[in-house]
Amino acid sequence: MATRNLSDYNSATVPDASNMIFGIVVAEWNPDITGALLQGCVTTLEKHGALPENIHVKTVPGSFELIYGAHQMTLNDGYDAVIILGSVIRGETPHFDYICQGVTAGIARLNATNNIPVVYGLLTTDTLEQAQDRAGGRLGNKGDECAVVAIKMAKF
């Protein structure tokens, strides 16, 4: 459970992003959630100086494909950071566990083997309400948090 609002952060600690280029890979599955995550992410990147033309968004069908999409973006030397955004909501089968574990391991592998940070923005929730709470609802927007992390990691 989130213990703080995902959109709360100290703006003074975020570097200027005006000279940075970001790749964002968004899953099409659960589009109301992933669309809200994307909106929060882009708004926050721009708030910290990223130019709209330096924010490149690609979509993939589902959350598992986020790994491939992020990997393809890391092959392009022009990105300072890549952000993945997706939402997996627990169902009645173990599919949830396999997808969440696979995406987590895949993104961790990309971070360990590439020179471009890949920011993990996959919501893994038990209910639609929990996802909505984290996609602009009462717990803020994970997209905001991912944008701040991407800026900080690009500066790292």
Q: Which residues belong to the active site?
A: 95
Cα separation, 44 vs 9, whole angstroms: 11
Q: Please, are residues 83 and 45 in contact by the beta-carbon 8 Å criterion?
A: no
Token pair 């200027």 in the structure block, residue? 16
Token pair 């996959």 in the structure block, residue? 122
